[in-house]
A = this chain, B = another copy of it.
Amino acid sequence: MFFIKKIFLFFKRELKLFFRNIVSIFSNILFFFLSIFIFVFALGADEQNLKSIGLGIIWSLLVLSSTLSLRKFYEEDFNNGVLVIIHMRGISYELIVFLKILSHFLFVQVPFLISIPVASLLFNLPIYEVYNLIFTFIIGSLILSCLSSMSASMNLLNKANFSIGGIIVLLFSVPVIIFSVGINEVDSDFKSLINILIGMALIFLGISPWASAAFIKLALRNK
């Protein structure tokens, strides 16, 4: 009972902090639309063309914007010691990581969901593609949150090179993208691809709390 209350409190804090930084969310979404416009202009508005690449653009922008928020993941709470205080109140680092991943998913990735229907409109995507997109997006962005968590915790240990975390996120998101975009190809087997994606998400959800927590503990030791 107390434990659930603690978790609830954790989310409440994240939510509040999120609303303090609502600007950066907006600027992420703005960046998103801006890039779409850029592509449309660069390509010239050939309708058929646009339709075929709309999905790809949305996905790659999603991936890039997750690397955007990498530093926000743990850095502040780690530097001012909040992570330790929370841990000392009985929440293991693994759980903290898990909660952080969830709140990153909820407060950073999901707001993107809102922009997808609008973006799809811009590209005249057929309705079933939009459904697919939203569906794969939910799973894919969960995977991305896990990846971000791992890279962000890795960055805590390394005080010199911040892009390496982003690079690793990008590298591992290659297969995610291939599968997610592949789902909308005409001749692809929707169900098995979705299953692969869900499988990946579960694996990452299983691995990343342990990996991230290990990095965080090590980083605390070297702090």
Contacts and interface: CB of A to CB of B under 8 A. Distances in A.
Interface of A: 20-24, 26-28, 30-31, 34-35, 37-39, 41-44, 46, 49, 52-53, 55-57, 59-61, 63-65, 67-68, 70-71, 151, 155, 159-164, 166-167, 170-171, 173-174, 177-178, 181-182, 185
A24 B56 contact: no
Nearest to A166: B31
A177 B57 contact: no
Nearest to A20: B160
A140 to B, nearest CB: 11
A38 B57 CA distance: 8
Given A68-B68, A177-B41, A167 B49 contact: no
A103 to B, nearest CB: 17
Contacts of A151: 27
B43 A53 contact: yes
* Number of this chain's copies in the complex: 2
B30 A170 contact: yes
A64 B35 CA distance: 7
A35 to B, nearest CB: 4
Nearest to A35: B60
Contact of A26 (B34, B71, B164): B164
A49 B55 CA distance: 14
B67 A171 contact: no
B23 A42 contact: no
Contact of A34 (B23, B27, B171): B171
B170 A23 contact: no
B42 A162 contact: no
A44 to B, nearest CB: 6
Given A41-B56, A53-B39, A34 B164 contact: no
Closest 8 CB pairs of A and B: A42-B56, A43-B56, A23-B163, A35-B60, A42-B60, A20-B160, A34-B170, A24-B161
A213 B68 CA distance: 26
A162 B44 CA distance: 29
Contact of A23 (B26, B64, B160, B177): B160
